[in-house]
Amino acid sequence: GQNIDQPTEMTATEGAIVQINCTYQTSGFNGLFWYQQHAGEAPTFLSYNVLDGLEEKGRFSSFLSRSKGYSYLLLKELQMKDSASYLCAVMDSNYQLIWGAGTKLIIKP
Amino acid sequence: GAVVSQHPSRVICKSGTSVKIECRSLDFQATTMFWYRQFPKKSLMLMATSNEGSKATYEQGVEKDKFLINHASLTLSTLTVTSAHPEDSSFYICSARDLALSYNEQFFGPGTRLTVL
């Protein structure tokens, strides 16, 4: 079956760095997405990786290793507004998104 | 660009009534639209995929007669929850895809909070 695993909850301190991991097993691979979702709102796009390596976009970076079925989202210089759920999603061979359950990130002052 | 709107944002209805939710792509043509529901503290659950001009493809366990999906144009899809019951209360989110983009990103609407009394 298809499976996306990510931690349920993480806590970090304002100004620090946090890494959210995601491992996946899917039928085919057409890219991995990271989305941010604040409570009661729809997800917003953060990043997309289809090739191995690190993609950097401001304070956020995303890494992919296809051979390991592994990705991480790195958040630097954490701000209180970064408190949200972070969803990992993989696009399978049918171009359908398979979603992880999300990681709730709690930022403390 | 790539904005998706959803209407209404919140709806409260009585059990047994039907509710229609609209999803519109405002500045692009959405060849495919997706309907998700999300329970509190849970991830997105894909309900169905709809392509313009054809019948929607429903995920296993989703009742097609209860959740009617119409994708009549390249910018509009509707989800109608028929004979709603309290267990249908959820956060419904649509997303749209433009195959002209390079990596099939889905753009999400803001969601509709449905409460069935």
- Residue A56 contacts by C-beta under 8 Å, 6 or more apart in sequence? none
CA A95 to chain B, closest CA, distance in angstroms equals 8
pLDDT digit string, tens, across residues A91-102: 988 778 889 999
Q: What is the mean pLDDT of chain B?
A: 90
Whether A17 has a pLDDT exceeding 90, the answer reads yes
pLDDT digit string, tens, across residues B67-116: 999 988 889 999 999 999 999 999 999 999 887 765 567 889 999 999 99
Whether B1 has a pLDDT exceeding 70, the answer reads no
* DSSP, residue by residue, chain B: ---EEEE-SEEEE-TT--EEEEEEESSS--SEEEEEEE-TT---EEEEEEETTSPPEEPTT--TTTEEEEEEETTEEEEEE-S--GGG-EEEEEEEE-TTSSS--EEE---EEEEE-
Whether B52 has a pLDDT exceeding 90, the answer reads no
- Residue B10 contacts by C-beta under 8 Å, 6 or more apart in sequence? B112, B113, B115
Residue B97 confidence (pLDDT): 87
Q: Answer whether B44 sits within 8 Å of A43, measured CB to CB.
A: yes
Whether A106 has a pLDDT exceeding 80, the answer reads yes
Chain B residues within 8 A of A104 when measuring between CB atoms: 41
Q: What's the average model confidence in pLDDT over B3-20?
A: 95
Residue B51 confidence (pLDDT): 86
The partner residues of B48 in beta bridges, in order of sequence, read: B35, B58
CB–CB of B6/B109 below 8 Å?
Answer: yes
CB–CB of A83/A105 below 8 Å?
Answer: yes
Chain B residues within 8 A of A48 when measuring between CB atoms: 103, 105
Residue A5 confidence (pLDDT): 95
Which residue does chain A place closest to B4, by CA atoms?
A42
